[in-house]
Structure 1
Amino acid sequence: MYIPKYFKVTDVEEIWDFVQKNSFGTIVTTIQGKPIATHLPLRLIQKGDDYYLTGHMAYGNPQWRTFETCEDVLVMFQGPNAYISSSWYGHEEVPTWNYQAVHVYGKAIILERDELIEELTIMLEKYEENRENPVLWDKLSPQLLDSELKGIVGFKIKVGEIQAAYKLSQNRNERDYINIINKLRNEGNPNSKQMAGLMEKRFLRGDKNDSDTEKIR
C-alpha cells in the first residue's frame, strides 16, 4: 500500500486496536494470476510473540483452496472514510478523501476440526454476549452444529507484515484542520460524522499543533 509519510502509522498497539474495532475484513488471494476476495469477520489473537487472524468461509468458496499455493494472503481492514472539499481550506487546493486502512500480509493455514470449533465458540461469545437471548455454541443442537461444520472451512493467518495508513488531514494547518472537522460534522452523513470524531480525538490528544478546543463546535 502506498503511504505518504504524513499518514503512515507504525504504533503496533494502535494498529491492532483498529483491527479489533474494524474486524470485518477482506481477504485477497489469486487463482492463476487473477485476484479473488472474500469479505469476512475475523478475530485477532496473540500466541507468544506471534499474531494470528482467524476466521472461516464456506466450503463451496474456492478461495480457501488457494491458501496452500499462495505464499502470502492479503487482508484489508477499513475504517470510516469521507470526502474532503477543497472549499474548506483557506487557500486554493484540490479536494481529497480521508480514510483509515490497514493491510496485513501472512501465510494462511487450514484449521483442524477441534480448532474450528474453538474458534466458532469464541466468535459466538464475542458477538452474542450483549444480546438479550444469546445464541452460544453449547445452546445449539449437535445435529445442527455437525451439519454446519461440514459446510465451512476454518483458517488462521500468521501475521507477517502490517501496513497502516490514517489519512486524517494531518498535513493541513490548524485552522483548516479545525474547519474540516466542523464541516464534516455538519454533513449529515454517518461516515463524515465518524471521521470528524476521529479527527477531533487526535487533535485533542495533541497530534496536531497546540489546540484551541473552543474552535471545534
Structure 2
Amino acid sequence: MYIPKYYRVTDVNEIREFIQLNSFGTLVTTKQGKPIATHLPLQLRKEEDAYYLTGHVAYGNPQWKTFEACEDVLVMFQGPHAYISSSWYEQENVPTWNYQAVHVYGTASILNEEELKQDLAMLLQKYEKHRNNPVLWDKLSPQLLEKELKGIVGFKIQVQEIQAANKLSQNRNEKDYQNIVNKLYEEEDLHSQQMAEVMKKKLKKDK
C-alpha cells in the first residue's frame, strides 16, 4: 500500500486498537496467479512474542486450500472514509478522499479442532457478552456445535508485516482542518460523519 509520510501509522497500540474496532476484514490469496478474496470477521491475538489473526471460512470456500501454496496472504481492514471537497479549503485545490486502512501480510495455517473451538468461543464472547441474552459457546447444544463445526475451517495468520494509513487531512492548516470536520458533520452520509468523529478525536489527541 502506498502511504505518503503524512499518513503513515507506526504506533503498534494504535494499529491494534484499529483492527479490534474494524475487525471485519478482507482476506486475499492467489489461486494459479488469480487473486481471490473472502470478507469475514477476524480476531487479533498475541501469543508470546508473535501476533496472529484468526478466523474461519466455510468448508465449501476453496480459499482455505490456497494457504499452503501461498507464501504470503494479505488481510485488509478499513475504517471510515469520506469524500473531501476542495471547496472546504481556503485556497484553490483539488478534491480528495480521506480514509483509514491497515494491510496485514503473513503466513496462514489451519487450526486443529480444539484451536477452532477456542477461537469460536472467543469470537462469541467478544460480540455477545454485552447483550441481554448472550449466545455463548457453553450455552449452545453439543449437537448443534458438532454439526456446525463440520461445515467450517479455522485458520490463523502469523503477522509478518503491517502497513497502516490514516489519511485525515493532516497536510491541511488548522483552519482548513476544522472546516473539513464541520462540513463532514453536515453531510447526510454516515461514513462522512464517522470520519468527522475520527478527525475530531485526532485533533484533540494532538493538542
For Structure 1 versus Structure 2, the TM-score category normalised by the shorter chain is over 0.9
Amino acid at match of 2:68: E
Q: Which residue does the alignment assign to 2:27?
A: 27
Where structure 2 has 5 or more consecutive residues not aligned to the other structure, the ranges are none
Match of 2:206, SS state, is coil
Q: Which residue does the alignment assign to 1:49?
A: 49
Match of 1:205, SS state, is helix
Identity fraction in percent: 71
Aligned-residue RMSD, C-alpha:
0.8
Q: Does 1:7 align with 2:14?
A: no
Q: Which residue does the alignment assign to 1:174?
A: 174
What per-residue deviation string (whole Å, max 9, x for no partner) do you get for residues 46-82 of structure 1? 0111000000000000000000000010000000000
Match of 1:114, SS state, is helix
Normalising by the residue count of structure 2, what TM-score does the alignment of the two structures yield?
0.98
Give 1:112 deviation, angstroms.
0.2
What per-residue deviation string (whole Å, max 9, x for no partner) do you get for residues 16-65 of structure 1? 11001100000000001100000010001001110000000000000000
Q: Distance in 2 between matches of 1:81 and 1:91?
A: 23
1:26-175 matches, within 5 Å, as: 26-175=26-175
Aligned length, in residue pairs: 207
Where structure 1 has 5 or more consecutive residues not aligned to the other structure, the ranges are 208-217
Amino acid at match of 2:37: A
What per-residue deviation string (whole Å, max 9, x for no partner) do you get for residues 178-203 of structure 1? 11000001112211111111111111
Q: Distance in 2 between matches of 1:121 and 1:17?
A: 21
What per-residue deviation string (whole Å, max 9, x for no partner) do you get for residues 101-146 of structure 1? 0000000010000000111111111111011111111111111111
Stretches (4+) displaced over 3 A = none
Q: Distance in 2 between matches of 1:139 and 1:13?
A: 33
Normalising by the residue count of structure 1, what TM-score does the alignment of the two structures yield?
0.94
